């Protein structure tokens, strides 16, 4: 795999969709989260000839949990096309300049060596990892909204895993299973708790 | 060929017995609650009874299967090798939670039994995997999931917020543990190039990140809010599992990692990690004890007693970094979980009997229900005696290790306030009866339920205090990871 042919676009997609996952609302946020998770998983597991079971497991876990967590009616085509207009997405990013700058800064910071054993590490993977960490950590620590916090947790964890993969390669199978379960738990618990809080506040 | 398959199946059953019982509960509990087995109005009683039997069976099975070579399961690259601490936690936890579910009864007794079964299965599984990322992730994710399961579908904002807090904590700690594993895996490579971070700095980084995960999960100060809210809002089985038992298992894993880390480097671990852990442990002990004395709600008081217990665990982490071969800190985790479980047992009994959670409204309860008085006396005695005894019997001397008189005095004061908080609960029980208590029907002293409660309590406190000496199984370190993580593309 030529780094610039696939890793660069994937790193850019991961950072951009990660930023949208924590700044957008409803449809755009969930779609961006699924896109970010896919790009990050492809960067982490680097499929060449065949798909690894760990990658399939990660993608199944993220997509399955996202489908469960999606509020009803969120995939209506017209509304989806409306919410995903590039103009609207750009407006969302300009409304949150700190997040957009964090994403760009993360990608640039990834180019700086970490003083860890990095000869074999990928600059682009490291950049995407640092970007996702910078994007996800602030809302994970401070957001008052449950679903946004769950999405931020997924973004942050994906960033940490990318950073790890840039130096040590992909996770072993057992750790992959545990991490996939972690992604599922974060999204499902987030959706369940958000529903309970909404109903409790309505009463 | 068939012999090999039979042996493989047997070792799978032995290795995964707690998990198999937990999975079995998904089938058995809904089945016994169905109309086939009796009236719909008694469904929750049947569900609770089935959960109690499954917990006891899981406990006995873990004891019989043990952690010998015949219980090791190899499936491809995955090895599940049950450990002595894991089996001990399941054996004792099964019996303790069976008693709590049986005493608590209630509409969700079956679901609470399932929470306990899955919690113990996760603990056993996590302690059966060689150290690394997976066991800690299993416990963190399991903790958040069980917290949500225990909260149930009730539209209770307070419960939902407690689960939300847990979700945020786990989200942060999962990221921290990935970073810890990254730094730990880089240590063997640090000597190959002077441009890398030094071994000392990487070791200090790993110790710091692991300690953060430990402090966050056990609910040490300033992360205590999570623990207090859990005890205040979740049902007691969920509170104990998420707030005490899973953190106890996690602390065993992290103590083990810290011990290996500390013994693998020639220089002492640098930075302020040890000092920070000593200070955090002491402040947590003091804070937990004083807050437990000042609060009125039984759930909050219990939460702060659990915070105090977390203080001992934080001191244990500091001790094990200084002395990697010390067994004292390893001995604190299990008795601590048992002592807090005794308080939990008291809380659920008293709440079921009086339906009150305020200590002011509960005054005089011990005059009317002496069995509960016995439970609390056992809990208070264990609370006072166990941690200090374990520390000293394990060869750990706070005064000598911390090197600070202030830390020693603070820790002893903290232990004193925790004991005072426990004694206060008992004094409230012996005080003048409140109107609420006076109006409650007097319980029979010699009822089968009361006898079982008292017998179970004495047994638990006997184990916690070390009179029944099976805790030694928890004193051994876990097995290290046989295959060190090697960077994919690193240059030697």
What percent of chain A clears pLDDT 90, i.e. is strictly above it?
31
Residue in the block written with tokens 């005059």? B367
Residue pair B342/B375 in contact (Cβ under 8 Å)? The answer is: yes
Nearest to A176 by CA among A37, A1, A52: A52
Instruction: Name the pLDDT band for B43 (thresholds 50, 70, 90).
Output: confident
Residues of A in contact with B164 (CB under 8 A): 146, 149, 193, 197
Long-range contacts from A4-12, C-beta under 8 angstroms, 24+ separation: A7/A43, A7/A122, A7/A124, A7/A125, A8/A124, A10/A39, A10/A42, A10/A43, A10/A124, A10/A128, A11/A39, A11/A43, A11/A107, A11/A124, A11/A125, A11/A127, A11/A128, A11/A131, A12/A107
Euclidean distance between CA atoms A147 and A128, whole angstroms:
23
pLDDT of residue B487: 42
Q: How far does B201 lie from chain A, in Å, by closest CA?
A: 11
**Whether residue B377 has pLDDT greater than 90:** no
Residue pair B473/B123 in contact (Cβ under 8 Å)? The answer is: no
pLDDT of residue B84: 84
- Is the CB of A168 less than 8 angstroms away from the CB of B485? yes
Residues whose CB is less than 8 angstroms from the CB of residue B38 and which lie 6 or more positions away in sequence, other chains included: B46
pLDDT of residue B472: 47
- Is the CB of A168 less than 8 angstroms away from the CB of B487? yes
pLDDT of residue B254: 92
Of A113, A140, A200, the CB nearest to B155: A200
pLDDT of residue B234: 87
pLDDT of residue B119: 95
- Is the CB of A172 less than 8 angstroms away from the CB of B141? no
Residues of B in contact with A150 (CB under 8 A): 167, 171
Between A50 and B55, the higher pLDDT residue: B55
| Chain B CA closest to residue A201 | B157
Euclidean distance between CA atoms B225 and B242, whole angstroms:
14
Q: Which two tokens stand for residue B461?
A: 């406190």
Of A150, A157, A197, the CB nearest to B175: A157
Give which of B78, B127, B174, B189 to mutate to test A binding, by max A Cβ within 10 Å: B174
Q: Which two tokens stand for residue B408?
A: 């020693």
- Is the CB of B77 less than 8 angstroms away from the CB of A171? no
| CB neighbours of residue B26 within 10 Å | 12
Instruction: Name the pLDDT band for B484 (thresholds 50, 70, 90).
Output: very low
pLDDT of residue B25: 93
Q: How far does B73 lie from chain A, in Å, by closest CA?
A: 14
Residue pair B460/B103 in contact (Cβ under 8 Å)? The answer is: no
> Per mean pLDDT, which range of A31-35, B187-191, B317-321 is the poorest?
B187-191
- pLDDT digit string (tens) for B461-474? 777 666 665 544 45
pLDDT of residue B492: 33
Residues of A in contact with B181 (CB under 8 A): 164
Between B474 and A166, the higher pLDDT residue: A166
pLDDT of residue B121: 95
Give which of B149, B164, B209, B225 to mutate to test A binding, by max A Cβ within 10 Å: B164
Residues of B in contact with A116 (CB under 8 A): 182-183, 186, 196-197
Euclidean distance between CA atoms B164 and B342, whole angstroms:
27
Report the pLDDT averaged over residues B98-105: 87
> Per mean pLDDT, which range of B251-265, B323-337, B379-393 is the poorest?
B379-393
What percent of chain A clears pLDDT 70, i.e. is strictly above it?
92
- Is the CB of B489 less than 8 angstroms away from the CB of A119? yes
Nearest to A30 by CA among A17, A21, A39, A43: A21
Report the pLDDT averaged over residues B55-61: 93
Residues of A in contact with B175 (CB under 8 A): 133, 137, 140, 153, 156-157, 159-160
- Is the CB of A160 less than 8 angstroms away from the CB of B155? no
Residues of A in contact with B167 (CB under 8 A): 146, 149-150, 153, 186, 189-190, 193
The SS3 call for residue B145 is helix
Q: How many interchain CB pairs under 8 A, A with B?
A: 154
Nearest to B102 by CA among B164, B166, B52: B52
Residues whose CB is less than 8 angstroms from the CB of residue B452 and which lie 6 or more positions away in sequence, other chains included: B99, B102
Residues of A in contact with B182 (CB under 8 A): 116, 160, 163-164, 167-168
Of B137, B160, B190, the CB nearest to A200: B160
Euclidean distance between CA atoms B382 and B335, whole angstroms:
9
> Per mean pLDDT, which range of A84-98, A156-170, B65-79, B402-416 is the poorest?
B65-79
Residues whose CB is less than 8 angstroms from the CB of residue B378 and which lie 6 or more positions away in sequence, other chains included: B342, B457, B458, B460, B461
Report the pLDDT averaged over residues A133-154: 91
Of B155, B171, B197, the CB nearest to A140: B171
Residues of B in contact with A153 (CB under 8 A): 167-168, 170-172, 174-175
pLDDT of residue A14: 92
Pairing of strands B78-80, B73-75: antiparallel
Report the pLDDT averaged over residues B131-154: 87
The rounded mean pLDDT for chain B is 83
Residues of A in contact with B144 (CB under 8 A): 185-186, 189
Of B77, B164, B185, the CB nearest to A193: B164
Instruction: Name the pLDDT band for A114 (thresholds 50, 70, 90).
Output: low
**Whether residue A3 has pLDDT greater than 60:** no
- Is the CB of A196 less than 8 angstroms away from the CB of B170? no
Instruction: Name the pLDDT band for B403 (thresholds 50, 70, 90).
Output: low
- Is the CB of B159 less than 8 angstroms away from the CB of A173? no
Q: Which two tokens stand for residue A66?
A: 């996202």
| CB neighbours of residue A75 within 10 Å | 13
Q: % helix / strand / coil in chain B, to the nearest 5?
A: 75, 0, 20
**Whether residue B290 has pLDDT greater than 90:** yes
Beta strands in chain A (DSSP E): none
Residues of B in contact with A159 (CB under 8 A): 175
| Chain B CA closest to residue A196 | B155
**Whether residue A117 has pLDDT greater than 70:** no
Four-residue CA torsion sign, B347, B351, B357, B361: negative
Residue pair A117/B189 in contact (Cβ under 8 Å)? The answer is: yes
Q: How far does B148 lie from chain A, in Å, by closest CA?
A: 7
How many Cα atoms are found within 13 Å in the side-chain-facing hemisphere of B359?
Answer: 22
Instruction: Name the pLDDT band for A170 (thresholds 50, 70, 90).
Output: confident
| Chain A CA closest to residue B148 | A189
Report the pLDDT averaged over residues B429-449: 75
| CB neighbours of residue A80 within 10 Å | 13
**Whether residue B485 has pLDDT greater than 70:** no
> Per mean pLDDT, which range of B133-142, B354-363, B392-401 is the poorest?
B392-401
Q: How far does B427 lie from chain A, in Å, by closest CA?
A: 38
Euclidean distance between CA atoms B416 and B289, whole angstroms:
8
* Phi, psi at A92, each rounded to 5°: -60, -45
pLDDT of residue B335: 81
**What is the C-alpha end-to-end distance of chain A, expressed in Å?**
55
How many Cα atoms are found within 13 Å in the side-chain-facing hemisphere of B170?
Answer: 37
Residues of B in contact with A121 (CB under 8 A): 489
DSSP string, B306-357: HHHHHHHHHHHHHHHHH-TT--HHHHHHHHHHHHHHHHHHHHHHHHHHH---
Nearest to B182 by CA among A79, A121, A75: A121
Report the pLDDT averaged over residues B96-100: 90
Residue pair B323/B332 in contact (Cβ under 8 Å)? The answer is: no
Residues of A in contact with B148 (CB under 8 A): 188-189, 192-193
Long-range contacts from B294-300, C-beta under 8 angstroms, 24+ separation: B296/B358, B296/B359, B296/B360, B297/B232, B297/B357, B297/B358, B297/B359, B298/B347, B298/B350, B298/B351, B298/B357, B298/B358, B298/B359, B298/B362, B299/B231, B299/B232, B299/B233, B299/B239, B299/B347, B299/B357, B300/B228, B300/B231, B300/B232
Q: Which two tokens stand for residue B164?
A: 């939300």
**Whether residue A4 has pLDDT greater than 60:** no
pLDDT of residue B389: 67
pLDDT of residue B491: 38
- Is the CB of A189 less than 8 angstroms away from the CB of B76? no
- Is the CB of B175 less than 8 angstroms away from the CB of A203? no
- Is the CB of B132 less than 8 angstroms away from the CB of A141? no
Instruction: Name the pLDDT band for B175 (thresholds 50, 70, 90).
Output: very high
- pLDDT digit string (tens) for B9-36? 888 888 889 999 999 999 999 999 888 8
Q: How far does B130 lie from chain A, in Å, by closest CA?
A: 11
Any idea what DSSP says for residue B129? Answer: S
């Amino acid at each position: 795999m030529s780094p610039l042919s696939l890793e660069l676009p994937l790193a850019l997609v991961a950072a951009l969709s990660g930023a949208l996952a924590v700044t957008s609302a409803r449809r755009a946020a969930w779609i961006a989260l699924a896109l970010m998770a896919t790009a990050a998983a492809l960067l982490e597991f680097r499929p060449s000839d065949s798909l690894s079971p760990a990658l399939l497991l990660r993608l199944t876990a993220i997509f399955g949990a996202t489908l469960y967590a999606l509020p009803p009616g969120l995939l209506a085509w017209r509304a989806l096309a409306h919410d995903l207009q590039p103009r609207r997405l750009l407006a969302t990013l300009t409304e949150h300049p700190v997040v957009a700058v964090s994403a760009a800064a993360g990608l640039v910071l990834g180019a700086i060596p970490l003083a860890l054993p990095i000869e074999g590490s990928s600059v682009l993977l490291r950049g995407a990892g640092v970007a996702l960490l910078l994007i996800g950590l602030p809302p994970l620590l401070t957001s008052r909204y449950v679903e946004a916090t769950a999405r931020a947790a997924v973004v942050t964890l994906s960033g940490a895993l990318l950073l790890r993969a840039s130096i040590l390669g992909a996770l072993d199978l057992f750790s992959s299973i545990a991490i996939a379960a972690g992604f599922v738990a974060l999204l499902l618990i987030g959706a369940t708790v958000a529903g309970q809080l909404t109903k409790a506040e309505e009463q | 060929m068939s012999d090999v398959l039979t042996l493989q199946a047997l070792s799978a059953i032995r290795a995964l017995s707690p998990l198999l019982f937990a999975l079995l509960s998904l089938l058995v509990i809904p089945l016994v609650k169905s109309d086939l087995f009796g009236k719909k109005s008694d469904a929750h009683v049947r569900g609770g009874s089935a959960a109690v039997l499954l917990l006891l069976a899981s406990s006995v099975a873990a004891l019989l299967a043990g952690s010998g070579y015949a219980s090791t399961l190899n499936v491809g690259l995955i090895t599940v090798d049950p450990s002595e601490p894991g089996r001990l936690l399941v054996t004792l936890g099964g019996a303790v939670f069976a008693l709590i579910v049986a005493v608590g009864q209630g509409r969700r007794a079956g679901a609470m039994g399932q929470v306990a079964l899955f919690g113990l299965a996760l603990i056993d599984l996590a302690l059966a995997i060689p150290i690394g990322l997976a066991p800690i992730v299993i416990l963190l994710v399991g903790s958040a999931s069980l917290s949500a399961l225990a909260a149930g579908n009730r539209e209770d904002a307070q419960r939902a917020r407690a689960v939300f807090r847990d979700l945020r904590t786990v989200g942060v700690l999962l990221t921290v543990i990935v970073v810890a594993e990254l730094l730990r895996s880089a240590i063997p490579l640090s000597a190959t190039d002077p441009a890398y971070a030094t071994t000392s700095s990487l070791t200090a980084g790993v110790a710091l990140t692991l300690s953060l995960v430990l402090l966050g999960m056990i609910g040490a100060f300033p992360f205590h809010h999570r623990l207090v809210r859990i005890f205040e809002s979740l049902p007691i089985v969920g509170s104990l599992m998420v707030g005490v038992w899973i953190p106890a298992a996690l602390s065993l894993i992290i103590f083990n990692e810290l011990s290996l880390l500390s013994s693998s480097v020639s220089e002492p671990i640098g930075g302020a990690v040890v000092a920070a852990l000593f200070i955090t442990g002491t402040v947590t002990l003091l804070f937990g004890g004083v807050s437990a004395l000042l609060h009125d709600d039984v759930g909050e008081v219990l939460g702060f007693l659990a915070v105090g217990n977390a203080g001992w665990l934080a001191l244990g982490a500091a001790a094990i970094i200084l002395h990697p071969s010390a067994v004292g800190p390893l001995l604190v985790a299990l008795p601590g979980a048992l002592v807090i479980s005794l308080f939990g047992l008291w809380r659920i009994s008293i709440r079921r009997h009086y339906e009150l959670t305020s200590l002011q409204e509960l005054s005089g309860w011990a005059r009317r229900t002496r069995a509960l008085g016995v439970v609390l006396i056992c809990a208070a005695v264990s609370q006072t005696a166990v941690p200090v005894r374990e520390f000293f019997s394990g060869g750990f001397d706070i005064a000598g290790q911390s090197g600070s008189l202030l830390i020693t005095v603070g820790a002893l004061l903290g232990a004193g306030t925790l004991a005072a908080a426990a004694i206060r609960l008992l004094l409230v029980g012996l005080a003048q009866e409140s109107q609420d208590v006076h109006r409650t029907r007097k319980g029979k002293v010699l009822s089968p339920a009361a006898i079982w409660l008292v017998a179970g309590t004495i047994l638990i406190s006997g184990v916690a205090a070390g009179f029944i000496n099976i805790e030694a199984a928890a004193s051994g370190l876990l097995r290290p990871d046989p295959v060190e993580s090697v960077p994919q593309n690193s240059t030697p």
